[in-house]
Amino acid sequence: QVQLVESGGGLVQPGGSLRLACAASGSTFTFGHHAMGWFRQPPGKEREFVAIINWRGDNIDYADSVKGRFTISRDNAKNTVYLQMNDLNPVDTAVYYCAASLYAIVTFEVSDFDSWGQGTQVTVSS
């Protein structure tokens, strides 16, 4: 079993930046064997894909809405995945979740992610 704990959320003004982190732990979980993803759920909406990174960090993809503004990265030595968010705007307001994939490679099915964090709130407002 794996535990995923997100941090770094908060209130930020439009145009600002935040860096989210997700720390993974678990005696039977090998972080470097899994692709990791970030998802978000805006108020009143469905959960949506944000970004994904493969096991060694050389295959990455983003939702069109965040391309050029968000950067996903990982540090396998620290069992942590990050999401750097720049040029934030109010439509980015959501609860952000990290998730561990069943697979090492990039896939896009939500069902491929079997472990989820509790989420961290990001609010973009002036």
Q: Report the pLDDT value the prediction gives residue 53, as an integer from 0 to 100.
A: 97
Instruction: Look at residue 121 and give its three-state secondary structure.
Output: strand
Please name the helix (run of DSSP H) or strand (run of DSSP E) that holds residue 7, with its range, or none.
strand 3-7
Positions in the chain short of pLDDT 50:
none
The rounded mean pLDDT for the chain is 96
How is 54-87 classified by DSSP, letter by letter? -TTSS-EEE-TTTTTTEEEEEETTTTEEEEEE-S
Q: Report the pLDDT value the prediction gives residue 27, as an integer from 0 to 100.
A: 85
CA angle 102, 106, 109 (to 5 degrees): 65
